[in-house]
């Protein structure tokens, strides 16, 4: 068994199934680029059969990220497919532009799933797995198979299905703990059992896929690795349905920090972790709590006063890793109002943004506006500014102007001017319970897309009261089916940022309504029906 652990990132597939995290194609592409810089081995880019939009996003990632060496290597681009011909063919069409494409197909193996969901006998499952893995193999050499609900399957039957998958050409076998129920001891034993009892297992890579419902995803994944798994399926910041998936940064940094214990390596450039975390948090609108391991704001912070009793000289005895190792800069003050276009371009390039001259000009204008208001413009400000300017959904409605009056005893009033799809501008005023409510009511009066705001939050991007405020909203549409959509906006004026974020989400909603309803890859690998 080798000592290299493959990092299979499923932020764009399983992670995107977090409520409200839905990403558009441009956001997915930018995240995929950053994952390549981070050095993940495999990017699971989506579930092409879920919708034409998903297929297109996977195809763009396969074409652009699957053909360029942003990190140490060209990553494998994987797509998910149920074990049926249509899904597999659709998946293949989406991923084939990549240098290294992978089809990831799955079918349940537990009796409860066979009986209630699949309405299939064990013999039918065995036949289907053999047939569909072989079909995928005809498309590409690299085929991954996941036995859904492996943990509740009859072990002997599980081993038999896995053997069939190997013989049909599978090169990776992924063992999911679909509902996040197992303890580390149990999950380790599950992986050990598969490795011990499946004929031909030495020819394939075994993979661990865990969920964090009990807070044990990282420990379960590590137990799987100890038992012999050499691929782990993870997401940035541990996002995903319910309590999320195993977090990439925790597994990677444990293997690195405790190299003496595990004796294993990964291909991750850990200095890209902090930046990747911020990017995913911004685009998915899912915040990271301050006390999150590795990537939380406090992960490397100590309460004031720590240095008082002279222990500073022994700080290494209290720190098990250095902030720089995960890319948390000690000081990231970089630009101010006197910085020129060249300085901005150099910094953006260092941060990994590739821009056309026109885009750079546009970014420079926004930068100068911001620098006029703020004394220093940090890397975090730049990332928020770029996200706000370039990674927004198509503007069906654009914010031309907003004006707000509010206060303790006043009647909060907002006046909004939007430019609509027909290029006509409309102005509406509304009174609300507060300035944001008033602004949203004024926007609603123009856009007319019924929805419920399910989350609203604001974070200051950097320190100081003149900071850029970043607003994220999630709203739920009512028709034709409930869908959760996120939007973000950044401005030094949080009312303006709030209006931008709401409009971004509404623009997604309006755009979605023009397309067919979209099938979601629900519940990780497990819930899409297989008919």
Question: Which residues from 297-326 bind its own copies, rule CB under 8 A?
Answer: 297-306, 308-311, 313-314, 317-321
Can you tell me which of 122, 366, 373, 419 binds its own copies, judged by CB under 8 A? Answer: 373
314, two tokens: 């022994």
Span 96-135, contacts to its own copies by CB under 8 A = 112, 116-117
Query: Total binding residues for its own copies by CB under 8 A?
Result: 127
Can you tell me which of 195, 296, 355, 366 binds its own copies, judged by CB under 8 A? Answer: 296
Strands 101-108 and 143-148, sheet pairing: parallel
H-helix or E-strand containing 130?
Answer: helix 122-139
Q: How far apart are CA 490 and CA 385, in angstroms?
A: 7
Span 423-442, contacts to its own copies by CB under 8 A = 432-437, 440-441
Q: How far is the CB of 296 from its own copies (least distance, A)?
A: 6
Q: Is 427 helix (H, G, I), strand (E, B) or coil?
A: strand
Instruction: With beta carbons less than 8 A apart as the criterion, state whether 470 and 459 touch.
Output: yes
Q: How far is the CB of 226 from its own copies (least distance, A)?
A: 8
> Is residue 505 exposed (0-12), middle (13-18) or buried (19+ Cβ within 10 Å)?
buried
Q: Tell me whether residue 143 or residue 528 sits nearer to its own copies (CB atom).
A: 528
> Is residue 479 exposed (0-12), middle (13-18) or buried (19+ Cβ within 10 Å)?
exposed
Q: Tell me whether residue 395 or residue 493 sits nearer to its own copies (CB atom).
A: 493
Instruction: With beta carbons less than 8 A apart as the criterion, state whether 348 and 360 touch.
Output: yes
Q: How far apart are CA 425 and CA 418, in angstroms?
A: 5
From residue 457 to residue 476, the character string flagging contacts with its own copies as x (rule: CB under 8 A) and all else as - is xxxx--xxxxx-x------x
Q: Which residues pair with 452 in a beta bridge?
A: 476
Q: How far apart are CA 508 and CA 441, in angstroms?
A: 18
Can you tell me which of 97, 184, 200, 267 binds its own copies, judged by CB under 8 A? Answer: 184
Q: Tell me whether residue 342 or residue 409 sits nearer to its own copies (CB atom).
A: 409
Q: How far is the CB of 436 from its own copies (least distance, A)?
A: 6
> Which of the stretches 69-77, 162-170, 183-191, 421-429 binds its own copies when contact is defined by CB under 8 A?
183-191
Can you tell me which of 84, 172, 218, 276 binds its own copies, judged by CB under 8 A? Answer: 218
From residue 476 to residue 515, the character string flagging contacts with its own copies as x (rule: CB under 8 A) and all else as - is x----xxxx------xxxxxx-------------------
Q: How far is the CB of 200 from its own copies (least distance, A)?
A: 30
What backbone phi and psi angles, to 5 degrees, belong to 323?
A: -55, -35
403, two tokens: 């004006």
41, two tokens: 């081995």
Instruction: With beta carbons less than 8 A apart as the criterion, state whether 95 and 102 touch.
Output: yes
Q: How far is the CB of 236 from its own copies (least distance, A)?
A: 11
Q: How far apart are CA 144 and CA 141, in angstroms?
A: 10
From residue 231 to residue 270, the character string flagging contacts with its own copies as x (rule: CB under 8 A) and all else as - is ------xxxxxxxx--x--x--xx--xx--x---------
Q: Tell me whether residue 1 or residue 306 sits nearer to its own copies (CB atom).
A: 306
Contact call for residue 228 and its own copies (CB under 8 A): no
Can you tell me which of 61, 288, 490, 510 binds its own copies, judged by CB under 8 A? Answer: 288
Strands 413-419 and 425-431, sheet pairing: antiparallel
Contact call for residue 455 and its own copies (CB under 8 A): yes
Q: How far apart are CA 435 and CA 403, in angstroms?
A: 10
Nearest to 474 by CA among 23, 107, 93, 87: 23
Contact call for residue 289 and its own copies (CB under 8 A): yes
The label of the residue with tokens 């996003």 reads 57
Contact call for residue 212 and its own copies (CB under 8 A): yes
Q: How far apart are CA 479 and CA 481, in angstroms?
A: 5
Q: How far is the CB of 482 from its own copies (least distance, A)?
A: 5
Instruction: With beta carbons less than 8 A apart as the criterion, state whether 257 and 321 touch.
Output: yes
Contact call for residue 89 and its own copies (CB under 8 A): no
Q: Tell me whether residue 69 or residue 375 sits nearer to its own copies (CB atom).
A: 375
> Is residue 407 exposed (0-12), middle (13-18) or buried (19+ Cβ within 10 Å)?
exposed
> Which of the stretches 36-44, 51-59, 162-170, 400-408 binds its own copies when contact is defined by CB under 8 A?
400-408
Instruction: With beta carbons less than 8 A apart as the criterion, state whether 95 and 79 touch.
Output: yes
Q: How far is the CB of 20 from its own copies (least distance, A)?
A: 8
Q: How far apart are CA 111 and CA 161, in angstroms?
A: 13
What backbone phi and psi angles, to 5 degrees, belong to 334?
A: -125, -45
446, two tokens: 């123009």
Q: Tell me whether residue 185 or residue 324 sits nearer to its own copies (CB atom).
A: 185
Q: How far is the CB of 384 from its own copies (least distance, A)?
A: 14
Q: How far is the CB of 251 from its own copies (least distance, A)?
A: 8
Q: Which residues pair with 46 in a beta bridge?
A: 79
Q: How far is the CB of 448 from its own copies (least distance, A)?
A: 15
Span 4-33, contacts to its own copies by CB under 8 A = 17-19
Span 32-61, contacts to its own copies by CB under 8 A = none
């Amino acid at each position: 068994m080798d000592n290299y652990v493959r990092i299979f990132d499923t932020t764009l597939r399983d992670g995107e199934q977090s409520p409200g995290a839905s990403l558009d194609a441009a956001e997915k592409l930018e995240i995929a680029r950053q994952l390549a810089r981070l050095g993940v081995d495999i990017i699971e880019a989506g579930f092409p059969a879920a919708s034409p939009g998903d297929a297109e996003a996977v195809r763009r990632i396969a074409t652009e990220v699957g053909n360029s060496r942003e990190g140490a290597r060209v990553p494998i681009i994987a797509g998910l497919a149920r074990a049926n011909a249509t899904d597999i063919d659709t998946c293949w069409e989406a991923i084939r532009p990549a240098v290294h494409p992978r089809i990831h197909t799955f079918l349940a193996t537990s009796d409860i799933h066979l009986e209630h969901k699949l309405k299939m006998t064990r013999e039918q499952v065995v036949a289907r797995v053999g047939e569909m893995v072989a079909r995928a193999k005809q498309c590409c050499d690299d085929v991954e198979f996941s036995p859904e609900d492996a943990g509740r399957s009859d072990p002997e039957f599980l081993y038999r299905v896995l053997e069939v998958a190997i013989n049909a050409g599978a090169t990776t076998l992924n063992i999911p703990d679909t509902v996040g129920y197992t303890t580390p001891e149990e999950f380790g034993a599950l992986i050990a059992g598969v490795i011990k009892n499946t004929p031909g297992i030495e020819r394939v890579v075994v993979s661990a896929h865990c969920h964090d419902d009990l807070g044990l995803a990282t420990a379960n994944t590590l137990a799987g690795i100890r038992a012999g798994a050499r691929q782990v399926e993870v997401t940035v910041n541990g996002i995903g349905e319910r309590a999320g998936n195993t977090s990439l940064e925790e597994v990677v940094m444990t293997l690195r920090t405790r190299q003496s214990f595990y004796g294993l390596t990964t291909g991750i450039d850990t200095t890209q972790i902090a930046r990747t975390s911020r990017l995913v948090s911004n685009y998915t609108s899912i915040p990271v709590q301050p006390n999150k391991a590795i990537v939380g704001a406090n992960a490397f912070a100590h309460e004031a006063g720590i240095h008082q009793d002279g222990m500073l000289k022994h700080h290494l005895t209290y720190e098990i890793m250095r902030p720089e190792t995960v890319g948390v800069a000690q000081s990231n003050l970089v630009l101010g109002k006197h910085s020129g276009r060249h300085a901005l371009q150099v910094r953006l390039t260092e941060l990994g943004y590739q821009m056309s001259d026109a885009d750079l000009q546009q970014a420079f204008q926004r930068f100068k506006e911001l620098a006029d208001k703020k004394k220093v413009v940090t890397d975090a400000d730049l990332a928020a500014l770029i996200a706000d300017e370039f990674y927004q959904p198509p503007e069906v409605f654009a914010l031309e102007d907003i004006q707000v009056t509010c206060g303790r005893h006043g009647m909060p009033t907002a006046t909004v001017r939007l430019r609509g799809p027909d290029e006509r501008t409309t102005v509406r005023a509304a009174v609300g319970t507060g300035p944001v409510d008033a602004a949203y009511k004024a926007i609603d009066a123009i856009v007319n897309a019924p929805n419920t705001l399910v989350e609203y939050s604001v974070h200051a991007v950097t320190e100081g009261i003149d900071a850029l405020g970043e607003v994220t909203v999630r709203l739920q549409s009512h028709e034709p089916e409930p869908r959760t959509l996120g939007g973000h906006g950044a401005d030094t004026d949080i009312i303006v940022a709030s209006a931008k974020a709401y409009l971004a989400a509404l623009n997604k909603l309006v755009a979605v309504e023009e397309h067919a309803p979209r099938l979601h890859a629900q519940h990780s690998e497990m819930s899409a029906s297989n008919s």
